[in-house]
Structure 1
Amino acid sequence: MDEPASGPADGPDRPPEPQRTAPLSVLVGALGSLQNAIFPAAAAIFGIGISAKGLMIGIGIGLLIAVAGSVFTYVSWRRLTYTIGTADIRVESGVLSRAARSVPFERIQDVSLEQKLIPRVLGLVAVKFETGAGGGEDLSLTYLTEDAGEELRQVVRERRDAHEGAAAIESGDGHAAAAAPEPAAEVIFAMDPPRLFRFGLFEFSLAVFAVLAGLLQYAETFADLDLFNAELWEMVLEEQGSTIAALGPYMQLAGAIAGLIAVFVIGSVTGMIRVFTRDWGFLLERTARGFRRRRGLFTKTDVVMPIHRVQALKIGTRLIRYRFGWHKLEFVSLAQDAGSSSHVVAPFAQMHEIEPVVEIAGFHLPKPDADWHRASETYRTVHMVMDALPFLLAAIIAGIVLAIASPEWIMVAVPILLLLAAISAGAALYSWQFKRHTLDEQQIIARSGIMSPDTQIATRKKLHSVEVAQGPIARLCGYATLHLGLAGGVFSIPGVPIERALEVRRKVLDTIAATDFSELETA
Structure 2
Amino acid sequence: MTQPQRTAPVSVILGALGSIRSAILPAIAIAFSGIGGDGRFLIAIGVGLASVVIGTAFAYAGWRRLTYTIGETDIRVESGLFSRSARSVPYERIQDVSLEAKPLPRMLGLVAVKFETGAGGGDDLALEYLTNTEGERLRQLVRERREDEAAASADPDTAIVAPSDEGEVLYTLTPGKLLTFGLFEFSLAVFAVLGGGLQYVETVTDIDVWNVDLWRGWLEEQGSVVASLGPYAQAAGAIAGLFGLIVIGMMTGIVRTVLRDWGFTLTRSARGFRRQRGLLTRTDVVMPAHRVQGLVIGTGLVRYRFGWHGLSFVSLAQDAEGESHVVAPFAQMDEIAPIVAAAGFALPDDTIRWQRASKQQRNDKAALDAAVFVLAAIPMAIFAPFGLFLIPLGLAVLAVAANLYAWEFRRHALSDTQIFATTGLMSPTSRIATRLKLHSVEIAQGPLARLRGYATVHLGLAGGDFAIPGVPLAEARSLRARIMETIAATDYSRLDQAFSDAQPGFSANRLAT
Tell me the equivalent position of 1:132.
118
Residue 279 of structure 1 aligns with an amino acid whose one-letter code is D
2:220, 2:413 → 1: CA distance? Answer: 61
1:100, 1:212 → 2: CA distance? Answer: 42
1:282, 1:230 → 2: CA distance? Answer: 47
Picking from 236, 253, 258, the partner of 1:271 is 253
2:13, 2:336 → 1: CA distance? Answer: 42
* CA distance 1:413–1:342, shift in 2 (3 Å): farther
Residue 435 of structure 1 aligns with an amino acid whose one-letter code is R
- Cα deviation per residue 1:91-128 (whole Å; 9 max; x = unaligned)? 11110111111111111223110000111111111011
2:387, 2:270 → 1: CA distance? Answer: 67
- Give yes or no for the alignment of 1:487 onto 2:462: yes
Measure how far apart 1:427 and its partner are.
1.7
- Give yes or no for the alignment of 1:190 onto 2:163: no
Residues 237-256 of structure 1 correspond to what in structure 2 (within 5 A)?
Answer: 237-256=219-238
CA contact (8 A) 1:80 1:93 kept: yes
Picking from 82, 99, 107, the partner of 1:96 is 82
Q: TM-score, normalised by structure 1?
A: 0.91
1:146, 1:229 → 2: CA distance? Answer: 52
Tell me the equivalent position of 1:227.
209
Unaligned runs of 5+ residues in structure 1 are 1-7, 9-15, 403-408
Measure how far apart 1:134 and its partner are.
3.4
1:432, 1:29 → 2: CA distance? Answer: 55
Tell me the equivalent position of 2:98.
112
- Cα deviation per residue 1:447-483 (whole Å; 9 max; x = unaligned)? 0111111101001111111111112221111111111
2:181, 2:161 → 1: CA distance? Answer: 40
Tell me the equivalent position of 1:201.
183
Residue 304 of structure 1 aligns with an amino acid whose one-letter code is V
CA contact (8 A) 1:431 1:449 kept: yes
Unaligned runs of 5+ residues in structure 2 are 496-507
Tell me the equivalent position of 1:333.
315
Residue 520 of structure 1 aligns with an amino acid whose one-letter code is N
1:179, 1:340 → 2: CA distance? Answer: 33
1:110, 1:309 → 2: CA distance? Answer: 11
Residue 482 of structure 1 aligns with an amino acid whose one-letter code is V
Residue 153 of structure 1 aligns with an amino acid whose one-letter code is R
2:300, 2:18 → 1: CA distance? Answer: 37
- Give yes or no for the alignment of 1:520 onto 2:495: no
CA contact (8 A) 2:188 2:252 kept: yes
Picking from 17, 24, 31, the partner of 1:38 is 24
1:483, 1:41 → 2: CA distance? Answer: 54
Higher mean Cα deviation, 187-196 or 387-396? 387-396
Residues 286-325 of structure 1 correspond to what in structure 2 (within 5 A)?
Answer: 286-325=268-307
Measure how far apart 1:28 and its partner are.
1.1
Measure how far apart 1:222 and its partner are.
2.5
Tell me the equivalent position of 2:472.
497
What secondary structure is seen at the aligned counterpart in 1 of 2:477? helix
CA contact (8 A) 2:380 2:389 kept: yes
Tell me the equivalent position of 2:62.
76
* CA distance 1:66–1:375, shift in 2 (3 Å): same
Measure how far apart 1:398 and its partner are.
4.0
Tell me the equivalent position of 1:64.
50
Measure how far apart 1:515 and its partner are.
2.5
Measure how far apart 1:86 and its partner are.
1.4
Q: TM-score, normalised by structure 2?
A: 0.92
What secondary structure is seen at the aligned counterpart in 1 of 2:325? strand
2:319, 2:136 → 1: CA distance? Answer: 19
1:509, 1:294 → 2: CA distance? Answer: 38
CA contact (8 A) 2:163 2:270 kept: no
- Give yes or no for the alignment of 1:53 onto 2:28: no
Residues 151-230 of structure 1 correspond to what in structure 2 (within 5 A)?
Answer: 151-169=137-155, 177-179=159-161, 182=164, 184-230=166-212
Higher mean Cα deviation, 182-191 or 318-327? 182-191
Tell me the equivalent position of 1:359.
341
What secondary structure is seen at the aligned counterpart in 2 of 1:215? helix
Picking from 244, 249, 254, the partner of 1:262 is 244
Aligned-pair identity in percent equals: 59
Tell me the equivalent position of 1:22.
8
Picking from 440, 443, 446, the partner of 1:468 is 443
1:462, 1:388 → 2: CA distance? Answer: 39
2:85, 2:67 → 1: CA distance? Answer: 11
* CA distance 1:22–1:230, shift in 2 (3 Å): closer
* CA distance 1:478–1:145, shift in 2 (3 Å): same
Tell me the equivalent position of 1:12.
none
CA contact (8 A) 1:481 1:492 kept: yes
2:379, 2:249 → 1: CA distance? Answer: 40
- Cα deviation per residue 1:478-510 (whole Å; 9 max; x = unaligned)? 111111111111111111111111111111111
CA contact (8 A) 1:105 1:159 kept: yes
What secondary structure is seen at the aligned counterpart in 1 of 2:389? helix
2:248, 2:469 → 1: CA distance? Answer: 39
Tell me the equivalent position of 1:383.
365
1:31, 1:278 → 2: CA distance? Answer: 24
* CA distance 1:187–1:155, shift in 2 (3 Å): same
Query: How many residues are matched?
Result: 498
What secondary structure is seen at the aligned counterpart in 2 of 1:63? helix
Residues 434-445 of structure 1 correspond to what in structure 2 (within 5 A)?
Answer: 434-445=409-420
CA contact (8 A) 2:298 2:311 kept: yes
- Cα deviation per residue 1:236-259 (whole Å; 9 max; x = unaligned)? 223212222222122212211211
2:214, 2:84 → 1: CA distance? Answer: 57
1:364, 1:182 → 2: CA distance? Answer: 26
2:68, 2:312 → 1: CA distance? Answer: 33
Picking from 250, 253, 264, the partner of 1:282 is 264
1:47, 1:129 → 2: CA distance? Answer: 46
* CA distance 1:443–1:50, shift in 2 (3 Å): farther
* CA distance 1:278–1:181, shift in 2 (3 Å): closer
CA contact (8 A) 2:66 2:79 kept: yes
- Cα deviation per residue 1:132-175 (whole Å; 9 max; x = unaligned)? 32342211000111111111111222222333344454xxxx77
Residues 349-428 of structure 1 correspond to what in structure 2 (within 5 A)?
Answer: 349-399=331-381, 402=383, 409-428=384-403
CA contact (8 A) 2:121 2:320 kept: no
* CA distance 1:298–1:137, shift in 2 (3 Å): same
